[in-house]
Structure 1
Amino acid sequence: MKEAYIYCDETTIQVKGEEGRKDTTKSYMWVYSSVRESEHPVRLFDYTPGRGGKYAASFLSGFTGILITDDYAGYNQVDHDQRALCWAHARRYFVDALEGIEEETGDSIAYRLLVQMMKIFHIEAKLQKRTKKEREKERVLRERPLVEQIFVWAKTAMARQGWKTKKEEHALKYLIDNEEGLKVYLEDGSVPMTNSLAERTIRSFAIGRRNWLFSGSPRGARSCGVLYSIVESAKANGLVPYQYIHYVLEQLNGKLGQLTDEILDQVMPWNGEVKEQCG
């Protein structure tokens, strides 16, 4: 909760034995991640029986920084400073819109906006190895004018009903409705342009879910979240997950009844000795 920035995402999980719920009812696994530049790279998975924003608000109680998310309205319930939205999501809607346009793509607003977005993504890719201050400067000079032009084109097209398909209209509406959140990254060099890190983190859970299909109980789902937290946090710190788990079990053997903050600090994946042993 002391981090200045937190990524968030969520996906479904089927859990058996939930009180008052059918076994086929959807439950959710949430992931909360620190940014790449964090001194403590961490990926936390949290099981809940629903997708309501109250679950994210409860987990993130005390957080006052910037949330990096998609446009799911549930995150509005979190008490936070700002919310940075994902340009990759906006781009996907325009890619989908082009699939439904049979005429010359260059005549469509979706095509024009998509080309403009790709220019911004191209610039942003080159800024990833720059410092925070350098990114902020370059974003203002090179990306902001392109972003502002995107919204001018989008609003003009919406006002004139200049779309060819419903998908194109939907893409325009998504873009305009989320203008404030999509512009947040321009003000802070540590804020990414997309929520892709959280999506990649939760993808490992989604892939695994194809094999094990469901959790046999709420306790099992919580344990599943703990295990994914350990493995993904190890990967985020450049560790080999198997070696890290083996190391932790050895270090904590016989100490489970007397765990202290000091003992736990010694086995955190960002600890220097841990990285030497498990990197």
Structure 2
Amino acid sequence: RFPGTHASCSLLANLVFNKYHMNTPVYREMVRLLNNKMNVSRNTVYNWFVKGSDHLKKVLPVLKEKLLAKGAVVNCDETWCRVKVAGKYGKKYIWCMVNKEAKVAVYFYDDGSRGRQVLRDFLGNTEIDALQSDGFNVYMYLDKELVDVDHLCCLAHARAKFKYAQEQGKDADAEYFISNIGRLYDLEEQYRLRHLTPQQIQQERQGEQTTKIIQRIRQRLDKLLADTSGMRGDLMNKALNYLKSFWNQLILYLKDGRYSIDNSLAERTLRPMTVERKNSLTFGSHDGAEVSVVYHTFIETCKMCGVSTLEYFKEFFKAIMQGRTDYENMLPMTIGIKK
């Protein structure tokens, strides 16, 4: 039996997999257990989840070290959830940070705060090369306090604002920005299909073709901002001001072939949390949210490493039962599961 529970390693692994990977409601698991002559309460199952996550937390510092290794390029995003605190449900936030090269994703939840201190504490004295995010103002301190870290913003967010201006605001000028940003994306797709190295991508991005597109976008931006006739709608004004405000962060991806044109990596990685939000609707406490982010950290890292999530949890829980504490050898990429 797994320490502190009446569950075997295999049973606990399957329960975790079904709940956090397959989004199976706990009451369905209770029915399945009952059909196997196991009368287990909901609270008991949740207590088992807590016991498993407590041991996974001991591995998190090693995983975080890989995530924020010196010279790393990471993507970051956050999403909201509803958590019961002091008898009332409130809006809280879960963060996610991803290192594509290291194949590591780490979720974190600091009592649901979306404040700057959460990000500051998580990064600590990091020596990463770059962090990419959206334009949320919490990230802006990176430009002032982490002067050695390149802060990139997401060009997809800028494009989306012009898309809104075109579709909802019926602004004809939006199409120019949408089409030219689209050309930048076309170039990125060509680099991917040609399997270019980061060095080759950097050379292409700094070449004449990309430079001309960037110049056209900037020239049109300056021209429209100089026009104070008041003929534009609010959505177009917001799109133009967003592009101007974050211009340096939006085009910074041209500097290094490892950098991404947008923050879609973090957004995709965070999506399972939005799915869980729709299925579970709420967390009963801060602790419930913490347990969820721990499991999702290892689930998404397993996905990135091409490792079976179910087999990983089985192997990990078995290693804990054996008394192992060599946590550096108990990560999804080091525990020894065949891909």
SS at match of 1:92: helix
CA shift at 1:62, angstroms? 1.4
Q: Which moved more, 1:76-85 or 1:25-34?
A: 76-85
CA contact (8 A) 2:202 2:254 kept: yes
Q: CA offsets per residue over residues 94-140 of structure 1, 9 Å max, x none?
A: 111111354xx7xx221111111111101111112210110001111
Specify every segment of 5 or more residues in structure 1 that has no aligned partner in the other structure, as ranges. Answer: none
1:127 is matched with which residue? 191
In percent, how many aligned pairs have the same letter? Answer: 25
> What is aligned with 1:5?
73
Name the larger-Rg structure: 2
What is the alpha-carbon distance in structure 1 between the residues aligned to residue 311 and residue 335 of structure 2? 15
> Are 1:61 and 2:61 an aligned pair?
no
Q: Give the AA of the match of 1:84.
A: L
Map of 1:25 onto structure 2: 90
Task: Supply the distance in 2 between the matched residues of 1:24 and 1:72 (Cα, whole angstroms).
Answer: 24
Matches within 5 A, 1:173-212: 173-212=241-280
The Cα of 1:84 is off from its aligned counterpart by: 0.5
1:73-97 per-residue CA deviation (whole Å, 9 max, x = no partner) reads 1013344312011001001001111
Secondary structure of 2:312's partner? helix
Give the distance between the partners of 2:255 and 2:85, measured in 1 at CA: 46
**Structure 1 stretches of 4+ moved >6 Å:** none
Runs of 5+ unmatched residues, structure 2: 1-67
How much does 1:27 deviate? 1.2
State the partner residue of 2:315. 247
Q: Give 1:237 shift.
A: 0.7
- Greater mean alpha carbon deviation, residues 154-163 or residues 126-135: 154-163
What's the TM-score once normalised by structure 1's chain length?
Answer: 0.88
Aligned with 1:264 (options 327, 330, 336): 327
Contact 1:57 1:75 in 2 (8 A): no
Query: 1:86-235, aligned counterparts within 5 Å?
Result: 86-102=154-170, 108-128=172-192, 129-141=195-207, 142-161=209-228, 164-235=232-303
Question: Is it true that 1:44 corresponds to 2:109 in the alignment?
Answer: no
Tell me the distance in 2 between the aligned counterparts of 1:130 and 1:246.
38
CA displacement at 1:153 relative to structure 2: 0.6
Deviations 1:142-197 (A, max 9, x none): 32321122111111111114763211111111101110101110011101000000
Give the residue type in structure 2 aligned to 1:95.
K
Aligned-residue CA RMSD (Å): 1.8
CA separation of 1:272/1:228 partners in 2, compared to 1, >3 Å: closer, same or farther? closer
For the Cα contact (< 8 Å) 2:169–2:235, is it kept in 1?
no
